[in-house]
Chains A and B, each alone.
Chain A
Amino acid sequence: MAKKVRAVVTLQIPAGKANPAPPVGTALGPHGINIMDFVKGYNERTAGMDGQIIPAQITIFEDRSFTFVLKTPPASDLLRKAAGVPKGSASQLQQVAGKVTAEQVRQIATQKLPDLNTSDVEQAIKSIEGTARSMGIEVV
Chain B
Amino acid sequence: MHVWPVDVDAVADVLGEFAPDGVSIEPVIRTLDHDNFVYEYLDAPSLLRSCVAAPFDAMSRRALRRRLTALSLSAPLGRLRYADVRTTDWSDEWKRFFHVLRVGRLVVRPSWEEVEAAPGDLVIDLDPGAAFGTGQHETTRLCLAALDTYLRPGMHILDVGTGSGILSLAAARLGAATIRAIDIDAEAVKVARENVRRNGVENLVVLATGSLGPDWPWPGSAAATADLVVANISSNAAIALLPACAETLRPDGLWIGSGFIESAYGTVVAAVRAAGLRPIATTADGDWRCLIAMKAAH
Q: Which residues in A have some Cβ–Cβ distance to B below 8 Å?
A: 1-5, 7-14, 17, 19-29, 31-39, 41, 53, 61-68, 74-77, 80, 87-95, 117, 127, 130-131, 133-136
Q: Most B CB atoms within 10 A — which of A3, A24, A89, A117? A: A3
Q: Report the Cα distance A130→B9, complex, angstroms.
A: 10
CB distance from B272 to the nearest CB of A (A): 17
B49 at the interface (CB under 8 A from A): yes
User: Would A65 and B41 be within 8 Å (CB), given that A9-B26, A25-B90 are in contact?
Assistant: no
Contacting residue for B97 out of A14, A61, A64, CB 8 A: A64
B97 touches A26 (CB 8 A): no
Whether A12 contacts B91 by the Cβ 8 Å rule is no
Residues of A within 8 A of B93 (CB): 25, 29, 35
Contact indicator A20/B26 (Cβ below 8 Å): no
Question: B74 at the A/B interface (Cβ < 8 Å)?
Answer: yes
Total residues of chain B contacting the partner, CB 8 A = 75
Tell me, in angstroms, the Cα distance from A37 to B85 when the chains sit together. Answer: 22
- Chain A residues near B19: list those with CB within 8 A: 23
Interface residues, chain B, with chain A CB atoms under 8 Å away: 6-7, 9-14, 16-27, 29, 31, 34-35, 37, 39, 41, 49-51, 60, 63-64, 66-67, 70-74, 85, 88-91, 93-94, 96-98, 127-137, 139-140, 161, 163-164, 185, 187, 232-234, 258-260, 288
With A3-B132, A26-B24 given, is the CB distance from A90 to B63 under 8 Å? yes
Cα(A93)–Cα(B88), bound, Å: 34
**Chain A interface helix/strand/loop/mixed:** mixed
